[in-house]
Amino acid sequence: MNSLGINKSKKETKVVVAMSGGVDSSVVAALMKQEGYDVTGITLKLYDDTKQSKEGRQCCAGQDILDAKRVSENINIDHKILFYQKKFKSEVIDSFIDSYAAGETPIPCVQCNQTVKFRDLFKYAKDLNADALITGHYVSRIQTNGHANMYKAKDQNRDQSYFLFSTTQEQLDFLRFPLGEIDKSETRAIAEKLKLNVATKPDSQDICFVPNGDYASVIKKFRPESFKPGKILDIDGNQIGDHEGIINYTIGQRKGIKIASNNPLYVVNIDADKNTIVVGNKDCLEVKQIKLRDLNILGSKKEFNEEINIKVRSTGRLLKAKVNLLENSADVEILDQETGISPGQACVFYSKDEIGDKVLGGGWIHKTFNKNLSTKLTT
């Protein structure tokens, strides 16, 4: 059994490494080569990057492809580029726009992992007769009794398990995450030691197809009708102002409302059908129940019989909750206090055991029930 848990010699084990051109995936490729595995690097061309961010801090852009190619040449591995722009447009960008136009707060990075990165790249790696698909994500994969489980990474500040909740069991069995047990600083140190050209390259920050974080410009390009003016209502349903398009607002937003008030006002609800924004005080943002759709469950459903932990935003804390699993949906009762939860975000399930925080899967937030807001005004 080799270090990847595969019953082959390293030399006979073929692995595909997803290379974004960043330091993490480059280090993973170099480590696999150093250990003696048969390595092929794959980089995805996902979108037209002719107007990329001035800072160049996005993934899968033109410069990133060149960086991945240079790393591959440096460590002497095969490198291939897959042109997935059409798939990415139809399955990630269009979904992002649809979600924003519906008054949601989408997470395109999860959609990307769920479709082109894991589903399509998974199939491509299988077609190459690879034994494993390796990525630079900070998440732990631990196998017990022949069953692969996903856990939060050792480096809690870099943990990416939230973005990988939609990984299927079949995919998880095939995937490996070598960086799950090390800190980011150690990854940088390895890159410098191996003299990789990306050792000091900044991490990607923006959504790759949203230059400089300007969501509105992307939606305006593809869906200009989303900028239709409408009413801003208070929590009693009275009109107190006007807006220039619901896509300019997200749940929990405070800035840019432009309505005079003695107390700070927050966006507490967005109704795309009625083209209205509802604003209220911070108490109206507290959410006690949420409905989920399109579930992905990892592990046994018996683990949901007790209280578990959930995460409702990538940078959020773990919250205690009770989850009632239905056909392909779930009702979630949040036992801790939490505000500003928005449809379109993901709710990820975790259970604590002797190893750490195990990922049980998750689903997409479809509806929220705010504690101090009339059900007539909730999404």
CA pair distance 178, 299, nearest whole angstrom = 22
Counting the structural domains of the chain, the total is 3
Same domain, 104 and 132: yes
Residue among 59, 60, 109, 208 flagged as catalytic: 208
Statement to judge: residues 203 and 140 lie in one domain? yes
Query: pTM value?
Result: 0.92
Residue 129 shares a structural domain with residue 175: yes
CATH of the domain at 143: 3.40.50.620
Residue 232 maps to a domain: yes
On whether both 32 and 86 belong to a single domain, the answer is yes
Question: Has residue 378 been placed in a domain?
Answer: no
Separation between Cα atoms, residue 299 and residue 357, nearest integer Å: 13
Whether 202 and 251 share a structural domain: no
Which of 283, 301, 318 finishes a domain?
Answer: 283
d(CA 330, CA 348): 12
Instruction: Verify that 279 and 298 share a domain, yes or no.
Output: no
CATH of the domain at 325: 2.40.30.10
Which of 166, 188, 212 is where one domain is finished?
Answer: 212
Q: Is the same domain home to 205 and 337?
A: no
Query: Is the distance from CB of 345 to CB of 330 less than 8 angstroms?
Result: no
239 in any annotated domain = yes
Range of the domain at 235: 228-283
82 & 134 share domain: yes
Among 59, 112, 284, 347, the one annotated catalytic: 112
Q: Select from 251, 266, 283 the last residue of a domain.
A: 283
Q: Is 359 helix (H, G, I), strand (E, B) or coil?
A: strand
190 shares a domain with 319: no
Q: What does the alpha-carbon distance between residue 233 and residue 343 come to, in Å, rounded to a whole number?
A: 19
Would you say residue 1 lies in a domain? Answer: no
Alpha carbon distance 208, 57 (integer Å): 8
Give me the residues paired with residue 323 across strands: 332
Flag whether 42 is in a domain. Answer: yes
Q: What is the pLDDT along the chain (379 residues), one digit of tens a residue?
A: 999 999 999 999 999 999 999 999 999 999 999 999 999 999 999 887 654 444 444 555 688 999 999 999 999 999 999 999 999 999 999 999 999 889 999 999 898 888 888 889 999 999 999 999 999 999 999 998 888 999 999 999 999 999 999 999 999 999 999 999 999 999 999 999 999 999 999 987 667 788 677 788 888 888 887 789 999 999 999 999 999 999 889 999 999 898 988 899 999 999 999 999 999 999 999 999 999 999 999 988 899 999 999 999 999 999 999 999 998 999 999 999 999 999 999 999 999 999 999 999 999 999 999 877 755 445 4
In whole angstroms, give the CA distance from residue 175 to residue 143. Answer: 11
Q: Would residue 173 count as lying in a domain?
A: yes
Give yes or no: residues 129 and 193 share one domain. yes
Of the candidates 184, 135, 197, the residue with the CA atom closest to the CA atom of residue 163: 135
Q: Is 259 a member of any domain?
A: yes
Query: Cα separation of 309 and 317, whole Å?
Result: 9
Please choose, from the candidates 208, 255, 214, the residue with its C-alpha nearest in 3D space to the C-alpha of residue 109.
Answer: 208
Quick one: 197 and 102 in the same domain? Answer: yes
Active site residue 59: no
Same domain, 292 and 279: no
Active site residue 208: yes
Q: SS3 of 65, please?
A: helix
